[in-house]
Amino acid sequence: MITKNKAIFLDRDGVLNDEMGDYVWKPEEFRICLGVPESLARLKAAGYYLVVVTNQAGIAKKLYAAADVLACHAKLQDACGYVLDALYFSDAHPSVSESILRKPDSGMLEKAVARFNLDVSQCWIVGDRYRDMEAGAKVGVRGILVGETEVAAFAPRVADLQAATEVILMLRTSCSARAS
């Protein structure tokens, strides 16, 4: 029997780095949120793949290029000790182009499920928008909403990634204890 893996899907802006208006694409303005490196290290140590899934519509709108996104991702990886296993982004925007990769569609998550042989029942998505929760729900992934931006009745809300990490690890521990 092939063992399936588990992952945490992470929205980027507002979860991993500070939200700074409509678009965050300049590496010199890209600020990692407090506690993110430590939270990612804890999740990694618990055996989760860490997968960033982010909409980057500014590319479709020609406000910035994919190279700018990749530069921000390089800064993120460096600040977090290179624990992120994959960083996917959708460069589409409905006013310009369509893509099944753009959240609330689930294409980025589906790519990771196939690539890392994931058991979606053991996965989570942490995001700051309802569309993040929708993308997770489409593939059967539980969600945790961070911040105060939106409401999703089917997902718990916490302050930040540090609090989301506590919820995930607490539930993982309590589920493991019940199974034994």
- Which CATH number goes with the domain that contains 19? 3.40.50.1000
Q: Is 1 inside a domain boundary?
A: no
Q: Check 13, 91, 105, 132 and give the catalytic one.
A: 13
Provide the strand spans (E) within the chain.
Answer: 6-10, 48-55, 86-90, 124-127, 142-146, 157-158
Q: Is 25 inside a domain boundary?
A: yes
Name the pLDDT band for 180 (thresholds 50, 70, 90).
very low
- Domain total of the chain: 1
Q: Is 3 inside a domain boundary?
A: no
Average pLDDT, the chain: 92
10-41 exposure pattern, b = at least 16 Cβ within 10 A, e = fewer: bbbbbbbbebeeebbbeeeebebbeebbebbe
| pLDDT tens readout for residues 104-163 | 999 999 999 999 999 999 999 999 999 999 999 999 999 999 997 766 677 789 999 999
Active site residue 78: no
pLDDT of residue 155: 78
Contacts for 11 with CB less than 8 Å, ≥ 6 apart: 52, 53, 54, 103, 125, 126, 127, 128, 129, 132
Q: Is 133 inside a domain boundary?
A: yes
Active site residue 11: yes
Q: Is 145 inside a domain boundary?
A: yes
Q: Is 6 inside a domain boundary?
A: no
- Which domain, by its residues, includes 125? 11-179
Q: Is 5 inside a domain boundary?
A: no
